[in-house]
Chain A
């Protein structure tokens, strides 16, 4: 697949609507996975750590992976959205 095929389909109305929708969904996109990750860790703490049950170790690891993975992608995502809205404000 060549470079042109990998480019996103763009039109003026499409792009501005896409950005608006992304801004609208940002709190959900950022908070939801982190919330799920915290729930996993909470589950490990309650049923694994407190009760001394090692079966829940996988839940802890999954929770950590979900949180780290999402934070890794959330930071550049929010940074680029902020940059974009700042640029639009200037125009």
Chain B
């Protein structure tokens, strides 16, 4: 992450030519690249959030975001909201399938809503790759903190440490 940030600073300061970077869009020419935001969001998620929040947020960024892009390209903006919401909701429902059904549905709706807001709301200085991960993560963290007060129990983990026996 430090290397990525240093590289990006060197690019923005003009010490490294933009020809050495590819896949950058025009709006990223004088702004921090989206790959930095993507990496930073994943680093923050893995460092500070519990697994049931991290997994769906990463799935939203890795699979939901490109799927939404394809839907926008093939079907137009009208379908993005509904289809994107449903796709992201599936990721949240799957990740919280061990939770109480009410909590699972609440998380599915709130998480998908956050992800869609993060994807659709374009801010020049803050990339959607960051927003699509962090907005649902922050919203779900609030729910996570409220879980004991609501009388529910925390959902179990989905991925367990591997015991490869080969």
Contacts and interface: CB of A to CB of B under 8 A. Distances in A.
A47 B160 CA distance: 10
A14 B63 contact: no
Contact of B25 (A7, A21, A56, A69): A7
Interface stretch (B37-45, B90-98, B131-139, B141-149): B90-98
Interface of A: 1, 4-9, 11, 13-15, 17-18, 21, 39-40, 43, 46-47, 55-59, 61-62, 65, 69, 73
B158 A13 contact: no
Nearest to A4: B26
A44 to B, nearest CB: 10
9 contacts: A8-B25, A8-B26, A9-B18, A9-B24, A17-B22, A55-B160, A59-B160, A61-B94, A62-B158
A11 B19 contact: yes
Contacts of A15: 22
Most chain A beta-carbon contacts within 10 A, residue among B66, B98, B160: B160
Interface residues of B, number: 30
Contact of B159 (A5, A17, A58): A58
A7 to B, nearest CB: 5
B156 A55 contact: yes
Contact of A58 (B124, B158, B162, B165): B158
Contact of A8 (B24, B55, B91, B94): B24
The 3 closest A-B pairs by CB, nearest first: A58-B158, A18-B22, A5-B27
Given A1-B122, A8-B24, A56-B160, 16 more contacts: A7-B25, A9-B18, A9-B24, A9-B26, A9-B29, A13-B19, A18-B22, A40-B159, A43-B162, A47-B160, A55-B160, A57-B97, A58-B97, A58-B98, A59-B158, A61-B97
B23 interface: yes
Contacts of A73: 66
Contacts of A14: 18-19, 21-22
A39 B165 CA distance: 12
Nearest to B28: A9
Nearest to A19: B22
